[in-house]
Amino acid sequence: MTDPLPADMFDELCPSDLVPLRFADKWASLILHCLEHGPRRFSELRVPLRRVTPKMLTRSLRGLQRDGLISRTVHPGPVPRVEYALTPLGRSALDLFYTVTAWTGQHWDELIEAREAYDAATAAREA
């Protein structure tokens, strides 16, 4: 038998609450990848991220900015221009995201098989 889990395992001061690596945000790693080679405007990000709605892209950008992974710079002028760029902290996170991406690539077939098996079993139970 295994030991019971401690009640304070994830207490208020737990560092897991501070983990800014947005693995649950499906767009975060893609945004970081888009910014790897320099600042980009919102409209530039929309090209490769065409599947994300503008609202979700804005939400992801704000979350990444809040966590210090990207910066937002407003360039004044007759037509103000806004650019997003990786911060040094954001650049340091790229290797982590690339590691997760590589792991996913290595286990792609297993992940798909597991999902399909789960979905089939769930559908069979619900039928």
Q: Full-prediction pTM beyond 0.85?
A: no
Identity of the amino acid at 64? L
Closest CA to 97 of 8, 31, 3: 31
Q: Is the pLDDT of residue 6 over 80?
A: no
**How confident is the model over 21-59, as pLDDT tens digits?**
555 678 888 899 899 999 999 999 999 999 999 999 999
Whole-Å CA distances, 18 to 10, 40, 118: 11, 27, 32
Task: Quote the pLDDT of residue 88.
Answer: 97
The letter for the amino acid at 86 is L
Residues 6+ apart with CB under 8 A from 106: none
For each of the domains in the chain, give its residue range(s) and CATH number, in order of start: 15-126 (1.10.10.10)
Supply the pLDDT for residue 32: 92
Q: Look at 93 and 6; give whichever has higher pLDDT.
A: 93
Q: What is the mean pLDDT of residues 4-21?
A: 61
Does an H or E element contain 72, and which? strand 70-75
